[in-house]
Every structure is written in C-alpha cells, then in structure tokens.
Chains A and B, each alone.
Chain A
C-alpha cells in the first residue's frame, strides 16, 4: 500500500495533538457559499460562545470549590441547603439567555423555509445508492453516481484527492439565482446534504420536500447522503457545480441537445446488433456500475439479502429469459431491485443481461439485443 508514509504521518501527528492535520480538515462548520449558510454559521458561533461563557462560570465555580473547599484543607462544611431566591434566579437567567438565542434562530429559520420565487427548480430523487437530477425548466435529467473506483475503496490502489466525494455527473446550477430543490426518493429515506449551502433535506419516498440555495460564488461543492439508507449509504456523494448564469445557460442547452440526440439515436441503435464481445464488454461495465453493489462483482450476491445471479435459475435457463429482461426493466416490487428501464439505455440493458447470462460460468450463450428490450418494453406498455 502506498499509504505507509501517510500512515506514519498520522501516527506522528497524534503525538503532536493533531497539529499536523489541522491544515487538512477544517475544525469548524463551513461558512459556506450562500447568505443563509453564513447566517447559520454565525448562529452556530453565537450559541457556541454563549455555551462557553456559561461553562466558564459553572465549571469555574466548581473547580474553585474543588480547590478550596476540600477536607484536606481542614475546612468545616457549611450546612446551608436551600434558597428560594437563588433557585428563582438561576431559573430566570437561563430563560432570558434562551430568549436571546431564540430570536436570531427564528429569523434564520423562517428565511430558510421560504422557498417562493425560485428561478430554477431541480427535482432531486434518491435511490439506493445514487442521486437523480431532473431540471423542471429544461429537458435535462440524469443519474449521478459515485465515481471513486472500487479498487480505491478496497485499498488496491492509492486513494484520489476527492475519495468518496466524487461523482460521474455533478448537479450544475447557476450562481446568483434562487435554485429550489425538490427532494424525494424511489425507495428508502435518503437525505440530500450540501454543507456549503446549509441544505440538508430528507428524501422521503412518496413525498416531496422543498429547500433552496442562492449560491454567491462559482465552484464545486461536495456533500453526502446524510440518512442511513442501507449497505452503500456511505457511497452516495452529492457534488454540485455552481456556474455563472451565462455558463450555466450554455451548459444546459448543450445537455438538452445531447439528451435529445441520444433519444433519437436510441431508435437507430435498435436496428444495430452488438457482437458478443461488444455486449460482454459494455455489459461488464454496466454491471459493475449498477448491479455489483448488491449482486457482487462475482455474481454471488449476499445470501439472505441479495440473491445470487451466478447459477440462478432465471439467469441460466431459456424459460427464465423473459423474466430476466422483465425484472431488470421493471424491478421487483417490495424489494431493493430497482426498475432500470429508466436509468439505462436499452443497449446497456441488453448488454448487462447478456453479461449476466454468460459470465461466471452461466454460459447460456444468449445474446440479447436492444431490439429485444424494446420489444419487451413496448409489449408491456400495450
């Protein structure tokens, strides 16, 4: 492992009470990139300082007593044990301090919850374990997956700079405009969190939550799913790129064109046949990106949680073929098996099913084409 020197560093830094690491990890909440996140930071610091002051007084009195009022000093214990006046005093003073805290907190909260007059709206949908972004004002939508290679996670190769905080396709939003995020989920509860925006909103299946951000500075902002959502909860980061409005307009137009073309091209691809090698190559790539998290790279699944594909009846018999295509397209209700029909292209689905029916000694020799998927899809719709 190429990490030994870093490892030694971290042990060394332990000796020096973390001085070495202070440069790497911020020790405090981020001030963020929005006015709201700055307000939240200020609120956090205000309460923190008030707590410090109270702590100083209370612990100060306590340690004074510990130092001076000890039997070893030969003192005689006093016998006083009540005073209504004092009790009222130390009930009233904290109430007063709490009111001082509550005023700015209430103001900030009301501002944060005001989602009106948004200029751009993005529907954020969580699913195990990825995010889907759909721009409601533009014909653009896509999935955003963890981009960190499995080999880095398994310590086979050195970890990159943005380890676990990098995605294949980040969400892109304009700066200086109020962007509204609608959050929901396809399966379990997730939570969409970008610390720099002070936005953390649960994605509840069947319900839509609202939040918003008006980003001041262009840049890349990283966050993570914040609600335990199953096995790969730690592996579904959020990356948001904030661009100047003009750059954003150019980008979204380009994306809309690309997606429109891809839709048109998919119809053409239906007529094209992949060779077995092509299908297996694309299938393996797709499988590792979308399927291996549950069914495992070796197809063995996790007994009791996720079924094995290797040697399974569905993936090895001719009768299972139609059911195989159906389950990949439409998912299986009541389980973690998602409907991939809307996540992957028909070509990718054809390839991944081909891969699953031939890899790991499944050797059925079946070669599925995009046209087969199209047939299954349209057959379903009628």
Chain B
C-alpha cells in the first residue's frame, strides 16, 4: 500500500540508547515503545496462563456431576477472576502491547508520543492484578459475583474483597485510558509525511477507533465500581430499591461500558487479520475504505446495543424492540468485513504459514460466534438462550477463537520482525492444529449443552449434561496444554533460529517491513516518505 523512498535500516541495526540502563532497571525505567510492548505482551501471556489455570479448575470441577474438587463459593470466585483476568489482564494488555510495538513502526515514527506515560501505564498493571489475585487469599475469599458484578450481589451481599476488586479495576482502567491517550496522540501527531488517514494500515485504524472507545467507556466502568464501593461502604443507595435506587440501573451502566468493551477486544483483531490475509494471499486487501467505514460503524453502533445483555430484566417492549433491531444491524458491517477478507483471498496466490492458519481459523470461528450473536439478538429466542452455556459458547468463540487467535496470529506474523529470527514452522503448525481441534472440542458442544438448558455459572449440574461436560473438559485440558507449545515456540524463536529477512514474508507490505529485523531501538529516526 505504501512505499518508502529511502532506506535507513542497517545503519541503526543493533543500536541502543546510549543512556539506557541494563538489567532490571532497563525494564523498570524504559520509555521505549518496543520494551514496553514486550513487557505488555509477556504480562498478557502470564495472565493468560493464570486465568487459564482458573479455567482448568472450573473444567475439572465440571468434569463430573457432584462437587468433587472445590466448593460452590470458590467455584464462583474462579469464574469471576478467570473472566476479569482474561478480559483486563490477557486480551487488553496483549492488544496494547501489539499497539506499542507496531503503531510507531507502521506510521513511520521513532517511538510513541508520550513515552513516560507509556511506562507508567504498563507498570501500574502488575499492581492491579497483584491486588486482585491477593483478594483470593483473604478471609472469605475473593470476588465471587461474576466478572459482571451485578448489584446487589456485589454490594450488600459481597465480602470485603469487594474493596480490593474495586481498587484493582480502577487501576486497570487508569492504565487503559493512558494507553488509549498515547495511541491517539501518536497516530494524530507522528505519522510520516504522506501518510494520510486513508493510507494508514488497518491495524492503526482499528486501534485508533478502539482507543476512542476506551476513552469513552473506561470512565463509565470507573463510575460503576465507585458506585458499588459507596453502596457497600458509605451508605449510598444507587442500586438499592429500599433507598430509592434500582438494581437494574447497575446493569444499564455496566453494559453501557460492557458492550463497547466487547468491541475494544475485537476491533484490533480485525486490524490484525486485515494485515495478515493480504500478505499470504499476495493480493491487496479488498475494500480498504469499506473496512474503515465498517469499523467506524461498528464502533458507533456499539453504544446503542447495551441492553441486549438485559432482555430478561423486564424492559418495556419498545426498548426490547429497539435494542433487538440495533443489535441485528451490527451484523451488517461485521458481515462486510468477513466478505472483504474472503474477497481478498479470492484469486490470490495463497500460502499457509502459521499466521495465515490462525487468521483463517479466526475468520471461520469468529463468524460462527457472529452467527450465535445474531441468534442471541433475537429477543424472544434470547429468553431461552440467556445465561445458559449457549452464551458461554458464543462469547468464547468471539473472544478465544476471535481475539486470542488473532493475538496468536499477530505474534507469529511479527515475531520474525521483533526477534530477527524465524519461528519454528513445524512446531507452530503443531500448535495451530492442536489448538484448533481442542478449542472446538471445548466450546462447540457448549452450544448444545446451553440449548438443552444448562445455566452458566453453576458448579454442579443435572445428570443429562454429564457426558457433554466430560467431553468439554477434556477439550479444555487439551487446549490448555496446547498453549505450552506456544511458549516453546516463543522461547525457541527468541533464543535463535533462522535469520529473518527485513521483509520476512514475500507478500508483506507496509513501513514496518522496511526496517531491519530486529528493528532499530528507535524505529524511524528520520521520517520515511510515504507516496
């Protein structure tokens, strides 16, 4: 899409900032976008395994009917903290890490625009999650009211871990807002000469829109948790009918944050897939402009659909109709994206390296998640699906085989650029196929279990669900184990491997591929010119 007039890579190769401290201090004090990107990505990977371990506890308990391993209240803490960690600790930091690494290199900038804030926005995160995880060891256990923390379960009826939960969510929110501000300021100010809005790579576009969503809704989340805190400890009654409040108000506020949050976790994924598919199809992305418009319309619509999470709360029928129609409309721009990706592949010359495999799996499985989303939008049918395993299947298809698969695809795709080494293709293919098979064993049968009537968030179930749950658990353990292969690939690639060329992939286009592999410490010290 863009070409660079002059080459300035090898001159800076291996250059390091001459004031940069070494060892631990390098990582603590770093203001470099690549170091911070690496920190974010490693943090996200760690959290992915911690949250994953909790999922293993959940699946082990659900392997058979009856209570075997854990008690019901600990089970609830596991589902709650698993959700919080995966959303705020794994997916979001992973995307921020990718943004840090890639946005300056994609727009031809030396670094992010606000490097010190960048450092801070990362380094408060470990404290947020240390607080959250520490709450599990409190007397009475950690938060057990679900990651959606509906009042009054999270106010009047929760333990004192709620205070820690609220504080840690505040810190996560501050971190996200700072990260988003940094992305916006960088994209607005540091684009190379000639990189007009409609020449920006789609990853940059989708992240820009995501950053605006973050700034719009993270303060709403902060408001929600603060109201929970004051309801619990300071005698307010926002969510208590006895004091003039309304517990359903909580859900309106929470989902006004929560629905755009869903798109915060998927829009950057669209950007990643839009980068990978053209590379391996050796053909330009089909419908670039329509991709930008589709992403923007999804972002705008995301503010008008929040109550589709609340159809059973007893809304007036006109509100139900409004939210049903708006939700169905989201299928249109999302469909446009999928059609564009397929059209990009059409008449291309495709090869199937690991990033492409994950991208292809993303397109199919995310679309399946989209179909179940469309089914869930139909209010009368939602009364039957709501709060069952059908919903669990739906959001894991969009978040695991959607968001997580895109992050893994991105890691494989840009890893040679970041490390200067090719990853082990055979191991990567093993990782892909093991993940693909196990993730479908894990989440596909959940559709049936949900339709048959199994509610979510229960530690024990009726006997009819036993065989399916045993099967799902086996898929879960296999998926968990498969991710160890990913760690192996990563370690192997960081330590060494076949030398990567600057362009890495035959069909790769964009400014990041004009830099050396690994790229210089300050990506572009003189701005490249984009034609």
Contacts and interface: CB of A to CB of B under 8 A. Distances in A.
Contact of B460 (A51, A71, A153, A334): A153
Contact of B140 (A44, A225, A302, A334): A302
Contacts of B474: 14
Contacts of A205: 152, 240-241, 247
A278 interface: no
A155 B66 contact: yes
Contacts of A39: 380
Interface residues of A, number: 110
B115 interface: no
Contact of A304 (B152, B160, B346): B160
B43 to A, nearest CB: 29
Interface in A59-118: 59, 61-62, 65-66, 69-72, 75-83, 86-87, 90-91, 94-95, 98, 101-102, 105-106, 108-110, 112-113
Given A79-B284, A81-B287, A234-B72, A163 B462 contact: yes
A335 interface: yes
Contact of A69 (B152, B290, B347): B347
A109 B65 contact: no
A273 interface: no
A109 B380 contact: yes
A47 B371 CA distance: 9
Contacts of A228: 76, 145-146, 150, 153, 457
A98 B328 contact: yes
B349 A47 contact: no
A24 interface: yes
Interface string B347-365: 1111110000000100110
B329 A27 contact: no
Contact of B72 (A43, A108, A225, A232): A232
A62 B342 contact: yes
Nearest to A89: B339
B380 A43 contact: yes
Contacts of A249: none
Contacts of A189: 150, 152-153, 247
Contacts of B348: 65, 69, 77-78
A244 interface: no
A204 B468 CA distance: 32
A304 B320 contact: no
Contacts of B289: 82
Interface string A175-213: 000000000000111010101001111101111011000
Given A24-B464, A200-B312, A304-B160, A65 B451 contact: no
A106 B464 contact: no
A188 B76 CA distance: 15
Interface string B36-77: 000000000000000000000000000011111000110010
A165 B241 contact: no
Contact of B67 (A29, A44, A154, A226): A154
Interface string B282-321: 1111111110000000000000000000001110010011
A163 B381 contact: no
Given A47-B374, A62-B363, A159-B65, A303 B140 contact: yes
Nearest to A210: B314
Contact of B314 (A26, A209, A334): A209
Interface in B455-488: 455, 457-468, 470-471, 474
Contacts of A75: 347, 349
A159 B463 contact: yes
Interface in B231-271: 240-242, 246-248
Contact of A81 (B286, B378, B380, B463): B286
B328 A102 contact: yes
B9 interface: no
B336 A226 contact: no
B281 interface: yes
A98 B329 contact: yes
B313 A204 contact: yes
B333 to A, nearest CB: 8
B491 interface: no
A39 B384 CA distance: 12
A20 B462 CA distance: 17
Interface in A27-50: 27-30, 39-40, 43-44, 47-48
B151 to A, nearest CB: 8
B127 interface: no
B138 A304 contact: yes
Contact of A79 (B66, B283, B455): B283
Interface in A210-269: 210, 223-235
B140 to A, nearest CB: 2
A11 B459 CA distance: 21
With most chain B CB atoms within 10 A of its CB, the pick from A11, A304, A305 is: A305
A94 B331 contact: yes
A162 interface: yes
A172 interface: no
B387 interface: yes
Interface in B61-113: 64-68, 72-73, 76
B371 A55 contact: yes
Q: Pick the most buried of B139, B242, B466: most chain A CB atoms within 10 A of its CB.
A: B466
B27 interface: no
A58 B342 contact: yes
A199 B374 CA distance: 20
B300 to A, nearest CB: 15
Given A43-B378, A44-B375, A201 B314 contact: yes
A285 to B, nearest CB: 22
Contact of B342 (A51, A61, A91): A61
A153 B140 contact: no
B445 A43 contact: no
B516 to A, nearest CB: 26
Nearest to A97: B331
A156 B64 CA distance: 14
Nearest to A12: B467
A71 B470 contact: no
A11 B469 CA distance: 11
Contact of A82 (B282, B288, B352, B371): B288
B452 A26 contact: yes
A82 B67 CA distance: 57
Contacts of A334: 156
A47 B378 contact: yes
B212 interface: no
Interface in B370-408: 371, 374-375, 378-381, 383-384, 386-388
7 contacts: A21-B466, A27-B451, A72-B351, A76-B349, A187-B157, A206-B242, A226-B455
Given A7-B64, A76-B349, 10 more contacts: A9-B467, A14-B470, A30-B453, A69-B345, A69-B349, A205-B247, A226-B388, A228-B457, A303-B139, A305-B140
